């Protein structure tokens, strides 16, 4: 297929108008939400979306609502020109790149700045003691949040308490703006994918949420925009995550059913490689509740720090 340059839309009203115009013509729309700095993992999501709809919208927006003031909003990698060039040459094409400046701008002057939102000297908690996001920290007036109360509590929700409400809220906003028929999310962010599916079910969105399989580099490291921050030595050490997860899967398939023993082997492997484990949990694929014995489909989810980079990965185990 010949190179096709996507239309860039930055205004949410214009985005909604485009979608409604296309739907009036009988076209179906697929949405791939991203925070940019696109890699082959993102491309795989777009290719999956192409299988299901006539038209493709890729959103590129680094969402401040899912970062606390002490997290890496200001250093999150960004390369819109490079992203656009990748999308322009993609086989099958992308129809629209939705690239809003600020989805929390309601006409007030105090907008979110990525360069000023990551200040480790600022307190992460409000006067009432609640953990806040960069949105609340800047006091821009946004106070409506979407919560998936049970699924958001474990794993990434423990160490990043504002993350999933920020994700659920921005995805809701994108769904209301783009009005897609299909949305594709990567299963590398397994908890996020399950949360979005539950939100869509519970709030009656007429959207089919598809989970796309993890894309890995040749050495097995799960692709992530944050990988760019790893030094060569840290990157080599980070391979302990995927390698130990694969061994865990093989152990389970060979009859090891006790989660604690499998978890301990993975934690040990990451520690020996110089990593710091945030969590290593074997949970039910649907409920995300921890299981002591593997007797039904589970997913082994891991988050670990190597240097200043927090990586996540998972392995589905179907027994």
Is the pLDDT at 10 greater than 70? The verdict is yes
Tokens of 1: 């297929």
pLDDT one-digit tens code per residue, 28-53: 999 999 999 999 999 999 999 999 99
pLDDT one-digit tens code per residue, 256-288: 999 999 999 999 999 999 999 999 999 999 999
Report all structural domains of the chain as residue ranges with CATH numbers, in order of start: 7-105+154-212 (3.40.50.620), 225-317 (3.30.1300.10)
DSSP 95-108: SEEE--S-TT-SS-
User: What is the Cα–Cα distance from 255 to 247, expressed in whole angstroms?
Assistant: 13
pLDDT average, residue stretch 205-217: 97
Strands 55-60 and 96-98 turn out to be: parallel
User: What is the Cα–Cα distance from 10 to 122, expressed in whole angstroms?
Assistant: 31
User: pTM for this one?
Assistant: 0.92
Phi, psi of 26 (to 5 degrees): 85, 10
Per-residue pLDDT at 121: 38
The per-residue pLDDT of the chain, averaged, comes to 92
CB atoms within 10 A of CB 2: 4
Per-residue pLDDT at 112: 59
Is the pLDDT at 139 greater than 60? The verdict is yes
Per-residue pLDDT at 113: 54
pLDDT one-digit tens code per residue, 142-159: 999 999 999 999 999 999
Q: List Cα–Cα distances, 66 to 69, 70, 146, 161, 319, in angstroms.
A: 10, 12, 12, 9, 34
Per-residue pLDDT at 4: 80
- The verdict on whether 52 is a catalytic residue reads no
pLDDT average, residue stretch 110-119: 50
Per-residue pLDDT at 131: 81
Q: Residue 59's closest CA among 111, 3, 16?
A: 16
Considering the candidates 39, 42, 52, 81, report the single residue annotated as catalytic.
42
Residue 261 neighbours by CB under 8 Å, 6+ apart? none
User: What is the Cα–Cα distance from 301 to 317, expressed in whole angstroms?
Assistant: 11
Residue 72 neighbours by CB under 8 Å, 6+ apart? 118
Phi, psi of 212 (to 5 degrees): -105, 140
């Amino acid at each position: 297929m010949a190179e096709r340059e996507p239309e860039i839309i930055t205004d949410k009203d214009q985005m909604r108008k485009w979608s409604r115009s296309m739907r009036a013509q009988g076209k179906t729309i697929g949405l791939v939400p991203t925070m940019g700095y696109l890699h082959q993992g993102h491309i795989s999501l777009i290719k999956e979306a192409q299988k299901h709809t006539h038209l493709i919208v890729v959103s590129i927006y680094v969402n401040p609502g899912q970062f606390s003031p002490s997290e890496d909003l200001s250093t999150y990698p960004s390369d819109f020109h490079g992203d656009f060039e990748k999308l322009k040459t993609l086989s099958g094409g992308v129809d629209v790149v939705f690239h809003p400046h600020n989805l929390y701008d309601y006409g007030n002057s105090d907008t979110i700045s990525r360069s000023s939102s990551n200040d480790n000297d600022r307190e992460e908690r409000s006067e009432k003691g609640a953990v806040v996001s960069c949105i609340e920290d800047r006091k821009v007036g946004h106070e409506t949040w979407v919560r998936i109360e049970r699924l958001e509590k474990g794993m990434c929700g423990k160490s990043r308490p504002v993350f999933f409400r920020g994700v659920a809220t921005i995805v809701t906003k994108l769904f209301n703006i783009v009005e897609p028929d299909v949305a594709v999310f990567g299963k590398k962010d397994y908890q996020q994918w399950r949360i979005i599916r539950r939100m869509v079910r519970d709030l009656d969105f007429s959207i089919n949420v598809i989970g796309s399989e993890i894309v890995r580099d040749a050495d097995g490291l799960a692709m992530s925009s944050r990988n760019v921050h790893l030094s060569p030595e840290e990157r080599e050490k980070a391979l302990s995550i995927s390698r130990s997860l694969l061994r865990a899967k093989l152990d389970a398939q060979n009859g090891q059913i006790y989660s604690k023993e499998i978890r301990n082997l993975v934690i040990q492997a990451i520690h020996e490689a110089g990593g710091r484990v945030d969590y290593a949990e074997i949970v039910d694929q649907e409920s995300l509740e921890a299981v002591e014995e593997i007797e039904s489909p589970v997913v082994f989810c891991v988050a670990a720090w190597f240097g200043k980079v927090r990586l996540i990965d998972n392995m589905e185990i179907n027994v």
